[in-house]
Structure 1
Amino acid sequence: MTEILRADTLRKSYDGFLAVDGVSFSVREGELKALIGPNGAGKSTCFNMLTGQLKPSSGEVFLRGARITGKRPREIWRLGVGRTFQITGTYASMSVAENVQMALISHHRRLFGFGARAWKLYRAEALDLLRSVALDDQADRPCSVLAYGDLKRLELAIALSHRPRLLLMDEPTAGMAPSARIDMMQLVADVVRDQGLSVLFTEHDMDVVFAHAHHIMVLNRGKLIADGNAEAVRNDPRVQEVYLGGGTLFKEARDA
Protein backbone atom coordinates (compact mmCIF):
# COMPACT_ATOMS: atom_id res chain seq x y z
CA MET A 1 0.00 0.00 0.00
CA THR A 2 1.11 3.55 -0.76
CA GLU A 3 2.15 5.76 2.15
CA ILE A 4 -0.22 8.73 2.51
CA LEU A 5 1.07 10.31 5.74
CA ARG A 6 4.46 10.25 7.40
CA ALA A 7 5.54 11.84 10.66
CA ASP A 8 9.30 12.10 11.02
CA THR A 9 10.78 12.56 14.54
CA LEU A 10 8.06 14.94 15.75
CA ARG A 11 8.77 16.79 18.96
CA LYS A 12 6.73 19.37 20.85
CA SER A 13 8.16 21.10 23.90
CA TYR A 14 6.46 23.42 26.39
CA ASP A 15 8.93 25.28 28.64
CA GLY A 16 11.28 22.31 28.57
CA PHE A 17 8.57 19.65 28.97
CA LEU A 18 8.45 17.27 25.99
CA ALA A 19 4.79 16.52 25.30
CA VAL A 20 5.78 14.58 22.16
CA ASP A 21 9.31 13.20 22.04
CA GLY A 22 10.69 12.02 18.69
CA VAL A 23 7.60 10.29 17.32
CA SER A 24 7.83 8.73 13.84
CA PHE A 25 5.16 6.71 12.03
CA SER A 26 3.29 6.38 8.75
CA VAL A 27 -0.28 5.76 7.59
CA ARG A 28 -0.93 3.93 4.33
CA GLU A 29 -3.78 4.23 1.86
CA GLY A 30 -6.85 2.29 2.95
CA GLU A 31 -5.50 1.81 6.48
CA LEU A 32 -7.50 2.21 9.69
CA LYS A 33 -4.85 2.96 12.30
CA ALA A 34 -5.31 3.64 16.01
CA LEU A 35 -3.20 5.86 18.26
CA ILE A 36 -3.79 4.94 21.89
CA GLY A 37 -2.24 5.68 25.25
CA PRO A 38 -3.08 6.86 28.77
CA ASN A 39 -4.29 10.39 29.45
CA GLY A 40 -1.46 12.86 28.94
CA ALA A 41 0.46 10.54 26.62
CA GLY A 42 0.62 13.18 23.86
CA LYS A 43 -2.08 11.92 21.48
CA SER A 44 -3.93 15.21 20.98
CA THR A 45 -0.67 17.15 20.73
CA CYS A 46 0.47 14.77 18.02
CA PHE A 47 -2.84 15.16 16.15
CA ASN A 48 -2.63 18.96 16.37
CA MET A 49 0.83 18.94 14.80
CA LEU A 50 -0.41 16.76 11.93
CA THR A 51 -3.25 19.18 11.14
CA GLY A 52 -1.28 22.42 11.53
CA GLN A 53 -2.96 23.58 14.73
CA LEU A 54 0.38 23.28 16.51
CA LYS A 55 3.82 23.87 15.04
CA PRO A 56 6.32 21.13 15.95
CA SER A 57 9.36 22.17 17.96
CA SER A 58 11.21 19.92 15.53
CA GLY A 59 10.49 17.18 13.03
CA GLU A 60 8.52 17.03 9.80
CA VAL A 61 5.12 15.94 8.49
CA PHE A 62 4.65 14.71 4.92
CA LEU A 63 1.41 14.15 3.02
CA ARG A 64 1.79 11.91 -0.04
CA GLY A 65 5.50 12.71 -0.01
CA ALA A 66 5.10 16.51 0.13
CA ARG A 67 6.21 18.42 3.22
CA ILE A 68 3.27 20.09 5.02
CA THR A 69 5.04 21.12 8.23
CA GLY A 70 4.10 24.70 9.12
CA LYS A 71 1.09 24.94 6.81
CA ARG A 72 -2.10 26.37 8.25
CA PRO A 73 -5.01 24.04 9.11
CA ARG A 74 -7.13 25.26 6.22
CA GLU A 75 -4.28 24.69 3.76
CA ILE A 76 -3.88 21.13 5.02
CA TRP A 77 -7.67 20.64 4.82
CA ARG A 78 -7.56 21.75 1.18
CA LEU A 79 -4.87 19.14 0.51
CA GLY A 80 -7.28 16.37 1.50
CA VAL A 81 -7.00 15.92 5.26
CA GLY A 82 -10.24 15.85 7.24
CA ARG A 83 -10.71 15.85 11.00
CA THR A 84 -13.38 15.12 13.58
CA PHE A 85 -13.12 16.21 17.20
CA GLN A 86 -13.82 14.64 20.57
CA ILE A 87 -16.56 17.23 21.19
CA THR A 88 -18.95 17.70 18.29
CA GLY A 89 -19.42 21.15 16.78
CA THR A 90 -22.53 21.64 14.64
CA TYR A 91 -25.03 24.46 14.07
CA ALA A 92 -27.83 23.50 16.46
CA SER A 93 -30.40 25.83 14.84
CA MET A 94 -29.84 24.36 11.36
CA SER A 95 -31.17 21.12 10.02
CA VAL A 96 -28.98 18.07 9.61
CA ALA A 97 -28.85 18.55 5.83
CA GLU A 98 -28.13 22.27 6.13
CA ASN A 99 -25.07 21.54 8.28
CA VAL A 100 -23.66 19.34 5.53
CA GLN A 101 -24.66 21.87 2.87
CA MET A 102 -22.67 24.57 4.68
CA ALA A 103 -19.60 22.32 4.61
CA LEU A 104 -20.13 21.71 0.89
CA ILE A 105 -20.55 25.44 0.24
CA SER A 106 -17.17 26.01 1.90
CA HIS A 107 -15.59 23.16 -0.07
CA HIS A 108 -16.86 24.61 -3.35
CA ARG A 109 -15.72 28.13 -2.33
CA ARG A 110 -19.24 29.55 -2.38
CA LEU A 111 -19.19 31.15 1.08
CA PHE A 112 -19.66 34.65 -0.31
CA GLY A 113 -22.58 35.77 -2.41
CA PHE A 114 -24.95 32.83 -1.97
CA GLY A 115 -27.48 34.88 0.04
CA ALA A 116 -30.93 33.41 0.57
CA ARG A 117 -30.26 30.61 -1.93
CA ALA A 118 -28.00 28.70 0.47
CA TRP A 119 -30.70 26.19 1.43
CA LYS A 120 -30.89 25.04 -2.22
CA LEU A 121 -27.17 24.61 -2.82
CA TYR A 122 -25.72 21.08 -2.93
CA ARG A 123 -28.85 19.54 -1.37
CA ALA A 124 -28.57 16.31 -3.38
CA GLU A 125 -24.87 15.95 -2.56
CA ALA A 126 -25.62 16.53 1.12
CA LEU A 127 -28.28 13.82 1.09
CA ASP A 128 -25.82 11.39 -0.53
CA LEU A 129 -23.32 12.06 2.27
CA LEU A 130 -26.00 11.60 4.91
CA ARG A 131 -27.00 8.33 3.27
CA SER A 132 -23.40 7.12 3.53
CA VAL A 133 -23.57 7.52 7.33
CA ALA A 134 -27.15 6.19 7.64
CA LEU A 135 -28.56 9.59 8.60
CA ASP A 136 -30.56 10.57 5.50
CA ASP A 137 -33.86 9.81 7.24
CA GLN A 138 -33.13 12.69 9.65
CA ALA A 139 -32.04 15.20 7.02
CA ASP A 140 -34.68 17.81 7.86
CA ARG A 141 -34.55 17.53 11.65
CA PRO A 142 -32.83 20.32 13.59
CA CYS A 143 -29.48 19.31 15.05
CA SER A 144 -30.64 20.43 18.47
CA VAL A 145 -32.87 17.34 18.82
CA LEU A 146 -30.39 14.71 17.63
CA ALA A 147 -29.08 11.99 19.91
CA TYR A 148 -25.36 12.28 20.64
CA GLY A 149 -24.49 9.26 18.52
CA ASP A 150 -26.29 10.79 15.56
CA LEU A 151 -24.36 14.03 16.05
CA LYS A 152 -21.17 11.97 15.75
CA ARG A 153 -22.47 10.51 12.47
CA LEU A 154 -23.30 14.00 11.24
CA GLU A 155 -19.80 15.20 12.09
CA LEU A 156 -18.42 12.32 10.02
CA ALA A 157 -20.61 13.34 7.06
CA ILE A 158 -19.36 16.92 7.38
CA ALA A 159 -15.74 15.71 7.49
CA LEU A 160 -16.35 13.69 4.32
CA SER A 161 -17.85 16.66 2.47
CA HIS A 162 -14.56 17.74 0.87
CA ARG A 163 -13.66 14.18 -0.20
CA PRO A 164 -10.57 13.78 2.02
CA ARG A 165 -8.07 11.02 1.38
CA LEU A 166 -6.98 11.02 5.04
CA LEU A 167 -9.28 11.43 8.03
CA LEU A 168 -8.03 12.14 11.56
CA MET A 169 -10.60 11.24 14.22
CA ASP A 170 -10.04 12.32 17.83
CA GLU A 171 -11.95 9.84 20.04
CA PRO A 172 -14.82 9.26 17.57
CA THR A 173 -16.87 7.25 20.08
CA ALA A 174 -16.38 9.46 23.15
CA GLY A 175 -19.61 9.93 25.10
CA MET A 176 -21.45 7.14 23.27
CA ALA A 177 -23.08 4.04 24.74
CA PRO A 178 -21.02 0.83 24.35
CA SER A 179 -23.22 -0.66 21.60
CA ALA A 180 -23.25 2.65 19.71
CA ARG A 181 -19.44 2.78 19.84
CA ILE A 182 -19.12 -0.50 17.97
CA ASP A 183 -21.71 0.64 15.41
CA MET A 184 -19.89 3.93 14.88
CA MET A 185 -16.53 2.30 14.25
CA GLN A 186 -18.10 -0.29 11.97
CA LEU A 187 -19.46 2.65 9.97
CA VAL A 188 -15.96 4.16 9.80
CA ALA A 189 -14.53 0.79 8.73
CA ASP A 190 -17.16 0.59 5.98
CA VAL A 191 -16.21 4.07 4.73
CA VAL A 192 -12.53 3.05 4.69
CA ARG A 193 -13.40 -0.03 2.65
CA ASP A 194 -15.88 1.60 0.26
CA GLN A 195 -14.00 4.86 -0.39
CA GLY A 196 -10.40 3.72 0.00
CA LEU A 197 -10.01 6.32 2.73
CA SER A 198 -7.19 6.27 5.29
CA VAL A 199 -8.09 6.91 8.94
CA LEU A 200 -5.93 7.65 11.96
CA PHE A 201 -7.93 7.72 15.19
CA THR A 202 -7.41 8.04 18.93
CA GLU A 203 -9.59 6.00 21.25
CA HIS A 204 -9.88 4.86 24.87
CA ASP A 205 -12.29 1.97 24.29
CA MET A 206 -10.11 -1.11 23.78
CA ASP A 207 -12.99 -3.16 22.37
CA VAL A 208 -13.35 -0.60 19.58
CA VAL A 209 -9.61 -0.50 18.93
CA PHE A 210 -9.01 -4.24 18.81
CA ALA A 211 -12.16 -4.94 16.80
CA HIS A 212 -11.48 -2.49 13.97
CA ALA A 213 -7.92 -1.11 13.78
CA HIS A 214 -5.61 -2.66 11.18
CA HIS A 215 -2.61 -1.44 13.17
CA ILE A 216 -2.23 0.11 16.61
CA MET A 217 0.33 2.59 17.92
CA VAL A 218 0.83 3.20 21.64
CA LEU A 219 2.14 6.46 23.11
CA ASN A 220 3.40 6.84 26.66
CA ARG A 221 4.86 10.06 28.06
CA GLY A 222 5.31 11.42 24.56
CA LYS A 223 7.19 8.40 23.21
CA LEU A 224 5.96 5.77 20.79
CA ILE A 225 6.48 2.45 22.57
CA ALA A 226 4.64 0.05 20.21
CA ASP A 227 3.40 -0.06 16.61
CA GLY A 228 1.91 -3.25 15.20
CA ASN A 229 -1.19 -5.38 14.76
CA ALA A 230 -3.58 -6.12 17.62
CA GLU A 231 -1.89 -9.35 18.68
CA ALA A 232 1.58 -7.79 18.78
CA VAL A 233 0.34 -4.84 20.84
CA ARG A 234 -1.59 -7.06 23.27
CA ASN A 235 1.51 -9.13 23.93
CA ASP A 236 4.02 -6.28 24.18
CA PRO A 237 5.36 -6.24 27.80
CA ARG A 238 5.97 -2.47 27.69
CA VAL A 239 2.36 -1.81 26.69
CA GLN A 240 1.00 -4.18 29.32
CA GLU A 241 3.12 -2.53 32.00
CA VAL A 242 2.78 1.20 31.30
CA TYR A 243 -0.64 1.40 29.64
CA LEU A 244 -2.76 -1.17 31.44
CA GLY A 245 -0.78 -2.02 34.55
CA GLY A 246 0.44 -5.51 33.84
CA GLY A 247 -1.96 -6.54 31.11
CA THR A 248 -5.14 -7.41 33.02
CA LEU A 249 -7.45 -5.47 30.72
CA PHE A 250 -5.59 -6.69 27.65
CA LYS A 251 -6.28 -10.24 28.76
CA GLU A 252 -9.97 -9.39 29.21
CA ALA A 253 -10.09 -7.82 25.74
CA ARG A 254 -8.42 -10.89 24.25
CA ASP A 255 -10.72 -13.34 26.04
CA ALA A 256 -13.95 -11.41 25.40
Structure 2
Amino acid sequence: MTALLEVRGLCKSFGGVRAVDGVGFALHAGEMLALIGPNGAGKSTTFDMVGGQLRADSGSVRLGGVELVGRRPRDIWRLGVGRTFQIAETFASLTVAQNVQMALLSHAGRVFSMWRRAADFQRGQALDLLDQVGMRAQADRPCGALAYGDVKRVELAVAMAHAPRLLLMDEPTAGMAPQERGGLMALTRRLVVERGMAVLFTEHSMDVVFAHADRIIVLARGQLIAEGPPQAVRDDPRVQAVYFGSGRTFERKEPA
Protein backbone atom coordinates (compact mmCIF):
# COMPACT_ATOMS: atom_id res chain seq x y z
CA MET A 1 0.00 0.00 0.00
CA THR A 2 1.45 3.36 -1.05
CA ALA A 3 1.98 5.84 1.78
CA LEU A 4 0.22 9.21 1.67
CA LEU A 5 3.21 10.98 3.29
CA GLU A 6 6.79 9.88 2.70
CA VAL A 7 9.65 11.58 4.56
CA ARG A 8 13.18 10.58 3.57
CA GLY A 9 16.60 11.69 4.86
CA LEU A 10 15.36 14.93 6.39
CA CYS A 11 18.15 17.15 7.77
CA LYS A 12 18.26 20.60 9.36
CA SER A 13 21.09 22.48 11.06
CA PHE A 14 21.15 25.74 12.99
CA GLY A 15 24.69 27.07 12.97
CA GLY A 16 26.86 24.16 14.02
CA VAL A 17 24.02 22.22 15.64
CA ARG A 18 22.38 19.38 13.67
CA ALA A 19 18.80 19.58 14.91
CA VAL A 20 17.48 16.86 12.60
CA ASP A 21 19.77 14.23 11.14
CA GLY A 22 18.45 11.93 8.42
CA VAL A 23 14.93 11.40 9.71
CA GLY A 24 12.58 9.31 7.59
CA PHE A 25 9.14 7.77 8.05
CA ALA A 26 5.89 7.06 6.19
CA LEU A 27 2.25 7.75 7.03
CA HIS A 28 -0.80 6.14 5.44
CA ALA A 29 -4.35 7.40 4.97
CA GLY A 30 -6.55 6.46 7.92
CA GLU A 31 -3.62 6.42 10.33
CA MET A 32 -2.69 8.53 13.37
CA LEU A 33 1.07 8.80 13.84
CA ALA A 34 2.59 10.37 16.98
CA LEU A 35 5.97 12.11 16.81
CA ILE A 36 7.55 12.24 20.27
CA GLY A 37 10.88 12.79 21.96
CA PRO A 38 12.44 14.58 24.93
CA ASN A 39 13.12 18.31 24.83
CA GLY A 40 15.67 19.13 22.14
CA ALA A 41 15.04 15.89 20.24
CA GLY A 42 14.19 17.68 16.98
CA LYS A 43 10.52 16.82 16.83
CA SER A 44 9.29 20.42 16.46
CA THR A 45 11.87 21.08 13.76
CA THR A 46 10.81 17.92 11.91
CA PHE A 47 7.15 18.84 12.29
CA ASP A 48 7.73 22.35 10.94
CA MET A 49 9.69 21.04 7.94
CA VAL A 50 6.79 18.78 6.99
CA GLY A 51 4.42 21.75 7.15
CA GLY A 52 6.76 24.14 5.34
CA GLN A 53 7.34 26.53 8.25
CA LEU A 54 11.02 25.55 8.04
CA ARG A 55 12.89 24.56 4.90
CA ALA A 56 14.93 21.37 5.09
CA ASP A 57 18.64 21.56 4.33
CA SER A 58 18.31 18.23 2.56
CA GLY A 59 15.92 15.32 2.25
CA SER A 60 12.45 14.85 0.84
CA VAL A 61 8.86 15.28 2.04
CA ARG A 62 6.32 13.89 -0.43
CA LEU A 63 2.55 14.04 -0.15
CA GLY A 64 0.89 11.71 -2.61
CA GLY A 65 4.12 11.71 -4.63
CA VAL A 66 4.34 15.55 -4.76
CA GLU A 67 7.47 17.10 -3.26
CA LEU A 68 6.75 19.60 -0.48
CA VAL A 69 10.29 20.74 0.34
CA GLY A 70 10.79 24.27 -0.97
CA ARG A 71 7.09 25.10 -1.12
CA ARG A 72 5.50 27.83 0.99
CA PRO A 73 3.12 26.83 3.81
CA ARG A 74 0.14 28.24 1.92
CA ASP A 75 1.03 26.21 -1.17
CA ILE A 76 1.35 23.10 1.00
CA TRP A 77 -2.05 23.90 2.50
CA ARG A 78 -3.51 24.08 -1.00
CA LEU A 79 -2.16 20.59 -1.68
CA GLY A 80 -4.29 19.22 1.18
CA VAL A 81 -2.33 19.69 4.40
CA GLY A 82 -4.23 21.15 7.36
CA ARG A 83 -2.80 22.21 10.70
CA THR A 84 -3.81 22.94 14.26
CA PHE A 85 -1.53 24.70 16.73
CA GLN A 86 -0.35 24.26 20.31
CA ILE A 87 -2.10 27.52 21.18
CA ALA A 88 -5.44 27.46 19.38
CA GLU A 89 -5.69 30.12 16.69
CA THR A 90 -9.18 31.49 16.16
CA PHE A 91 -10.70 34.96 15.81
CA ALA A 92 -11.98 35.70 19.33
CA SER A 93 -14.28 38.53 18.23
CA LEU A 94 -16.02 36.45 15.55
CA THR A 95 -18.69 33.89 16.25
CA VAL A 96 -17.95 30.19 16.13
CA ALA A 97 -19.76 29.86 12.79
CA GLN A 98 -17.99 32.90 11.33
CA ASN A 99 -14.60 31.39 12.13
CA VAL A 100 -15.48 28.32 10.10
CA GLN A 101 -17.01 30.44 7.33
CA MET A 102 -13.76 32.38 7.06
CA ALA A 103 -11.94 29.10 6.49
CA LEU A 104 -14.50 28.11 3.84
CA LEU A 105 -14.05 31.49 2.15
CA SER A 106 -10.30 30.97 2.06
CA HIS A 107 -10.71 27.45 0.67
CA ALA A 108 -12.95 28.86 -2.09
CA GLY A 109 -10.46 31.64 -2.85
CA ARG A 110 -12.96 34.35 -1.95
CA VAL A 111 -11.42 35.94 1.14
CA PHE A 112 -11.09 39.29 -0.61
CA SER A 113 -14.24 39.07 -2.70
CA MET A 114 -16.98 41.53 -1.84
CA TRP A 115 -19.58 40.21 -4.29
CA ARG A 116 -21.46 38.41 -1.54
CA ARG A 117 -21.93 39.02 2.16
CA ALA A 118 -19.38 36.91 3.99
CA ALA A 119 -21.87 36.33 6.82
CA ASP A 120 -24.08 34.36 4.43
CA PHE A 121 -21.32 32.37 2.74
CA GLN A 122 -21.81 28.62 3.14
CA ARG A 123 -23.32 28.94 6.59
CA GLY A 124 -25.00 25.58 6.13
CA GLN A 125 -21.68 23.89 5.44
CA ALA A 126 -20.13 25.67 8.41
CA LEU A 127 -22.91 24.39 10.66
CA ASP A 128 -22.40 20.86 9.33
CA LEU A 129 -18.70 21.04 10.20
CA LEU A 130 -19.53 22.35 13.66
CA ASP A 131 -22.00 19.51 14.09
CA GLN A 132 -19.18 17.05 13.37
CA VAL A 133 -17.11 18.45 16.25
CA GLY A 134 -20.03 18.89 18.64
CA MET A 135 -20.13 22.69 18.46
CA ARG A 136 -23.23 23.46 16.39
CA ALA A 137 -25.25 24.55 19.43
CA GLN A 138 -22.68 27.29 20.09
CA ALA A 139 -22.46 28.49 16.49
CA ASP A 140 -23.50 32.06 17.25
CA ARG A 141 -21.38 32.58 20.36
CA PRO A 142 -18.17 34.63 20.10
CA CYS A 143 -15.10 32.40 20.16
CA GLY A 144 -13.68 34.58 22.91
CA ALA A 145 -16.48 33.46 25.25
CA LEU A 146 -15.75 29.73 24.90
CA ALA A 147 -13.96 27.38 27.26
CA TYR A 148 -10.52 26.44 25.94
CA GLY A 149 -11.50 22.87 25.15
CA ASP A 150 -14.34 24.17 22.98
CA VAL A 151 -11.97 26.55 21.19
CA LYS A 152 -9.84 23.52 20.30
CA ARG A 153 -12.91 21.89 18.76
CA VAL A 154 -13.62 25.01 16.72
CA GLU A 155 -10.02 25.03 15.53
CA LEU A 156 -10.47 21.43 14.39
CA ALA A 157 -13.61 22.39 12.44
CA VAL A 158 -11.66 25.25 10.83
CA ALA A 159 -8.96 22.78 9.77
CA MET A 160 -11.60 20.42 8.36
CA ALA A 161 -13.06 23.22 6.20
CA HIS A 162 -10.24 22.63 3.75
CA ALA A 163 -10.97 18.86 3.59
CA PRO A 164 -7.30 17.99 4.23
CA ARG A 165 -5.75 14.69 3.24
CA LEU A 166 -3.13 15.18 5.97
CA LEU A 167 -3.70 16.96 9.26
CA LEU A 168 -0.74 18.18 11.32
CA MET A 169 -1.61 18.65 15.00
CA ASP A 170 0.96 20.44 17.15
CA GLU A 171 0.42 19.54 20.83
CA PRO A 172 -3.35 19.18 20.25
CA THR A 173 -4.24 18.66 23.92
CA ALA A 174 -1.96 21.31 25.46
CA GLY A 175 -3.78 23.27 28.17
CA MET A 176 -6.74 20.89 28.29
CA ALA A 177 -8.13 18.95 31.23
CA PRO A 178 -7.71 15.13 31.14
CA GLN A 179 -11.34 14.46 30.14
CA GLU A 180 -11.14 17.09 27.41
CA ARG A 181 -7.92 15.56 26.06
CA GLY A 182 -9.49 12.15 25.60
CA GLY A 183 -12.60 13.65 24.03
CA LEU A 184 -10.67 15.69 21.47
CA MET A 185 -8.49 12.79 20.39
CA ALA A 186 -11.48 10.43 20.16
CA LEU A 187 -13.16 13.04 17.96
CA THR A 188 -10.05 13.25 15.80
CA ARG A 189 -10.02 9.47 15.45
CA ARG A 190 -13.63 9.50 14.26
CA LEU A 191 -12.83 12.14 11.64
CA VAL A 192 -9.81 10.13 10.47
CA VAL A 193 -12.01 7.08 9.94
CA GLU A 194 -14.89 8.97 8.32
CA ARG A 195 -12.73 11.08 6.00
CA GLY A 196 -9.89 8.64 5.32
CA MET A 197 -7.30 11.28 6.14
CA ALA A 198 -4.00 10.89 7.98
CA VAL A 199 -2.86 12.66 11.17
CA LEU A 200 0.69 13.44 12.29
CA PHE A 201 0.75 14.85 15.80
CA THR A 202 3.28 15.89 18.42
CA GLU A 203 2.34 15.49 22.06
CA HIS A 204 3.96 15.68 25.49
CA SER A 205 1.18 13.79 27.26
CA MET A 206 2.19 10.13 27.10
CA ASP A 207 -1.27 8.92 28.13
CA VAL A 208 -2.67 10.63 25.03
CA VAL A 209 0.07 9.22 22.80
CA PHE A 210 -0.23 5.61 23.89
CA ALA A 211 -4.03 5.65 24.01
CA HIS A 212 -4.67 7.20 20.60
CA ALA A 213 -1.74 6.72 18.19
CA ASP A 214 -1.70 3.81 15.73
CA ARG A 215 2.08 4.12 15.50
CA ILE A 216 4.72 6.18 17.27
CA ILE A 217 8.06 7.53 16.07
CA VAL A 218 10.61 8.62 18.66
CA LEU A 219 13.41 11.12 18.09
CA ALA A 220 16.46 11.75 20.26
CA ARG A 221 19.24 14.22 19.44
CA GLY A 222 17.84 14.71 15.95
CA GLN A 223 17.74 11.05 15.01
CA LEU A 224 14.95 8.51 14.83
CA ILE A 225 15.60 5.85 17.48
CA ALA A 226 12.33 3.88 17.50
CA GLU A 227 9.23 3.38 15.38
CA GLY A 228 6.27 1.06 15.71
CA PRO A 229 2.95 0.37 17.44
CA PRO A 230 2.49 1.77 20.96
CA GLN A 231 3.29 -1.41 22.86
CA ALA A 232 6.52 -2.05 20.95
CA VAL A 233 7.66 1.53 21.50
CA ARG A 234 6.67 1.41 25.17
CA ASP A 235 8.89 -1.64 25.65
CA ASP A 236 11.85 -0.42 23.56
CA PRO A 237 14.98 -0.14 25.78
CA ARG A 238 16.27 2.82 23.77
CA VAL A 239 13.07 4.75 24.42
CA GLN A 240 13.15 3.88 28.10
CA ALA A 241 16.77 5.04 28.34
CA VAL A 242 16.07 8.34 26.56
CA TYR A 243 13.06 9.21 28.69
CA PHE A 244 14.16 7.86 32.05
CA GLY A 245 17.78 6.73 31.88
CA SER A 246 17.10 4.11 34.52
CA GLY A 247 15.20 1.27 32.91
CA ARG A 248 11.89 2.44 34.34
CA THR A 249 8.85 1.71 32.22
CA PHE A 250 6.02 3.93 31.08
CA GLU A 251 3.01 3.71 33.32
CA ARG A 252 -0.09 2.34 31.68
CA LYS A 253 -2.92 4.85 31.74
CA GLU A 254 -6.45 4.46 30.49
CA PRO A 255 -7.82 7.15 28.15
CA ALA A 256 -9.43 9.99 30.09
Which residue in 2 is equivalent to 1:10? Answer: 10
Q: Give the superposition deviation at 1:246.
A: 3.2
Q: Secondary structure at the match of 1:56?
A: coil
**Distance in 2 between the 1:2 and 1:30 partners?**
12
Number of residue pairs the alignment of both structures matches: 255
Deviation at 1:114, TM superposition (A): 2.4
Kindly indicate whether residue 245 of structure 2 is the aligned counterpart of residue 253 of structure 1. Answer: no
Distance in 2, Cα, partners of 1:254 & 1:141: 35
Shift of 1:248: 3.2
The answer (yes or no) to whether the contact 2:235–2:249 under 8 Å persists in 1 is no
* Whole-Å separation in 1 of the counterparts to 2:114 and 2:127: 20
Moved over 4 A (4+): none
Whether the aligned pair in 2 keeps the contact of 1:19 and 1:222 (CA below 8 Å) is yes
Hey, what's the Cα distance between the residues in 1 that align with 2:244 and 2:4? 31
Specify the alignment match of 2:174 in structure 1: 174
The separation in 2 between residues aligned to 1:31 and 1:144, in whole angstroms, is 32
Structure with the higher helix share, 1 or 2 = 1
Aligned partner of 2:89 in structure 1 is 89
Distance 1:244 1:156, change over 3 A: farther
Where does residue 56 of structure 2 map in the other structure?
56
Structure 1 match to 2:201:
201
Equivalence map 1:69-108=2 (5 Å)? 69-108=69-108
For the residue of structure 1 that corresponds to 2:169, the secondary structure is: strand
RMSD: 1.5
TM-score, scaled to structure 2: 0.96
**For 1:1-256, what aligned pairs fall within 5 Å after superposition?**
1-114=1-114, 117-248=117-248, 250=250, 252-253=251-252
The CA deviation at 1:115 is: 6.4
Q: Percent identity?
A: 60
1:192-237 deviation digits (Å, cap 9, x = unpaired): 1111110000111111111111000111111111000011101100
Question: Alpha-carbon deviations, 1:66-120, whole Å to 9, x = none?
Answer: 2121001011000000011101111111000000000100000111222671100
**Preserved contact between residue 55 and residue 69 of structure 1 (Cα < 8 Å):** yes
Q: Cα distance 1:149–1:68, how it changes in 2: closer, same or farther (>3 A)? A: same
Structure 2 gaps, min length 5? none
